[in-house]
Structure 1
Amino acid sequence: MAGSSEPGSSPEEEIQISFTNHTFIVPKKEINMVPDMGKWKRSQAYADYVGFVLTLNEGVKGKKLTCDYKISKPIENLTLLLNTLDRWIDETPPVDQPSRFGNKAYRTWYNKLEKEAENLVSTVIPNELSSAVPETAVYLKESVGNPTRIDYGTGHEAAFAAFLCCLCKIGVLKMDDQLAIVFCVFDRYLQVMRKLQKTYRMEPAGSQGVWGLDDFQFLPFIWGSSQLIDHPTLSPGQFVDEKVVNEHHEEYMFLECIRFINEMKTGSFAEHSNQLWNISAVHAWSKVNQGLIQMYKAECLEKFPVIQHFKFGSLLAINAVGS
């Protein structure tokens, strides 16, 4: 995972890069027009990001959220960081305002993160790698939504995955942290994002309405469907059954996402979540998983409105693979 650019590369191929003389760069936007998308698809960042997502997808296959896994010190520190963000929500209640959506108190909460991001990240990154803090902290700030529009979407989620990918590349997170990255850190991140979305009534960023998979998230559906591959009793057709969801949501990320949708939306599931309803007709979780990976590339990673906000530094570089 660390420094690997080969999608789905195995642990044996893990390459540890030395960062002693490395020049870290504060990430910036590079995709400014639709024709720049080709640059992104050929970039080292794209290869590394997709490789990271697929490696974790393989790592969680067939495993429950409640299974045993190692919790290293950096994983503990990341959880504490997310707990801090959660506490700040409690300390920043919504304000009274005429418009129903986009509560302005979110901006107060976000300003606190903007001020404190580097301090928070420095609790995860050891002193000898402190020069990596400004670069990685940018991805944390990008991962919680947009303070101007008070919205959140799959581009922000991708920034959090990029943040974790950078921590792997500099060797803070290791290959044997894989399960904890998804089941402990990413799951906690999702809890905090759901709380943000509910508390401040955040708008979905770039939502495709009923034609999108979900208003806010995508990755937990990919990793969550991988968890369910070869499940002895749960088939894709059962996630539309609320009883099944309520029984198993604590073990499977996919079902936790469905539970949140059921909590937030009223009316027929087939109407408000048409894409997911269609997916429930697929006969095997392995097919669901493959289909979601393809859909993620097409609907998120290859869409200019999402990728125009992605930022590139030295760890997730815009340079073409191998250049």
Structure 2
Amino acid sequence: MAETEQQSGSTPEDEAHEVTDSVTFMVPKKEISMVPDMSKWKRSQAYADYMGFVLTLNEGVKGKNLTCEYKVSETVEKLLDLLETLDRWINETPPADQPSRFGNRAYRTWFAKLDQVSAHAHPYTRTPLHTHNPTHKCARIHYITCHEAAFAAFLCCLCKVGALRVDDQLAIVFKVFNRYLAVMRKLQKTYRMEPAGSQGVWGLDDFQFLPFIWGSSQFVDHPTLEPRHFIDERVVNEHHQDFMFLECIKFINEMKTGPFAEHSNQLWNISAVPSWSKVNQGLVRMYKAECMEKFPVIQHFKFGSLLSIQPGKP
């Protein structure tokens, strides 16, 4: 495994066996309301399960292209249909004409459709869609790391109830999560969503983190492409359809101007790392320290029967 630290969390292969018909499901709720509560999160079964899920997928995509062959199950198809619907709603809800740099108010119309549909969804799937609705809190419309983590947690829960299985691993990342990224990028561009934390503790990217982890794993042991190559725009344009990491770089290049070293300094520094395995290990550590262990991200998580705030199993 690129990340050698052992995790106590469950994986897609065994999580489904933990959830039986006898389980009484509870409505998920927030548990992290103050910074001192973070100690509960870091000791929780939810933390172990979530990071176990992330690292299992990280191992599963190692050395594989986005265009490789893999199974696409009925559950995956349904998730793709849902994301396609969300994408279509963006087309049907053009941005309003307003003199605002960030946060077009038309997003509220788009979100109202999502809110209405998710209110009738299965109780397992409802919570991640409601994890953080920025329009109810402030005038600006944000996209922050907790949104990405909420969707990943949603996929983790689908594994825990057996809707997604071990042979769905590649499809989870390459089909579902990649399609989710496309929808999020379209939302960010269309409604000028503000990248909260872009100059704060996250540092890697304005909006996303997981595709850099899984994308760097795709490159492990690649015969020709090294970390130094991802800052070469020619390489990005030639190979972005095969590698999630390069697709992220392509989006950055489209959204930002000026020298790469100035607008994406953290990534520029990463390009000097000698191997993709080292990049992958470093990004996993960074994700834990700068996202999973930061109160501004975790305060939005909701915990219940599937992702429990109770202490993890020894």
Q: Would you call these one fold, judging by a TM-score over 0.5? A: yes
2:114 aligned residue: 113
Please say if residues 239 and 280 of structure 1, whose CA atoms lie closer than 8 Å, have aligned partners that are also in contact.
yes
Measured against aligned partners, the alpha-carbon deviations of 1:102-136 in whole angstroms (never above 9, x if no partner) come to: 001101111111110144x5xxxxxxxxxxx2242
Secondary structure of 1:204 counterpart: coil
CA contact (8 A) 1:249 1:255 kept: yes
Equivalent of residue 292 in structure 1, options 283, 294, 311: 283
Q: Per-residue deviation at 1:24?
A: 1.4
Pair 1:134 & 2:123 matched: yes
Contact 2:12 2:165 in 1 (8 A): no
- CA separation of 1:210 and 1:268: change in aligned 2, threshold 3 A: farther
Q: Which has the higher contact order (CA 8 A, sep 6+)?
A: 2
Amino acid at match of 1:78: L
| Percent of residue pairs identical | 71
User: Contact conserved, 2:228 with 2:272, CA < 8 A, in 1?
Assistant: yes
Q: CA deviation at 1:25?
A: 1.8
Q: TM-score if structure 2 supplies the norm length?
A: 0.93
Judge conservation of contact 1:211–1:275 (CA < 8 Å) in 2. Answer: no
Q: Distance in 2 between matches of 1:160 and 1:320?
A: 23
Residue by residue over 1:227-246, the C-alpha shift from the partner in whole angstroms, topping out at 9 and shown as x without a partner, is: 00000000000000000000
Contact kept? 2:87, 2:183, Cα under 8 Å: yes
Deviations 1:224-279 (A, max 9, x none): 00000000000000000000000000000000000000000000000000000000
Unmatched 5+ stretches in structure 2: 1-6
The answer to whether the Cα contact below 8 Å between 2:229 and 2:271 also exists between their aligned partners in 1 is: yes
Q: CA deviation at 1:165?
A: 0.3
Residues 217 and 18 of structure 1: CA distance in aligned 2, closer, same or farther (over 3 Å)? closer
CA contact (8 A) 2:63 2:221 kept: yes
Q: Deviations over 1:81-119 (max 9, x none)?
A: 000100111111110112121001101111111110144
Q: CA deviation at 1:142?
A: 2.9
Contact 1:155 1:307 in 2 (8 A): yes
- Displacement of 1:153 in angstroms is 1.5
What TM-score results when the alignment is normalised by the length of structure 1?
A: 0.90
Q: CA deviation digits over 1:202-231, x for unaligned, max 9? A: 001233259710000000000000000000
Alignment gaps of 5+ in structure 1: 122-132
Quick one: which of 135, 139, 147 aligns to 1:147?
135
Following TM superposition, by how much is the alpha carbon of 1:147 offset from its aligned partner in structure 2, in angstroms? 2.5
1:97 paired residue number: 98
Compute the displacement of 1:8 (Å): 7.6
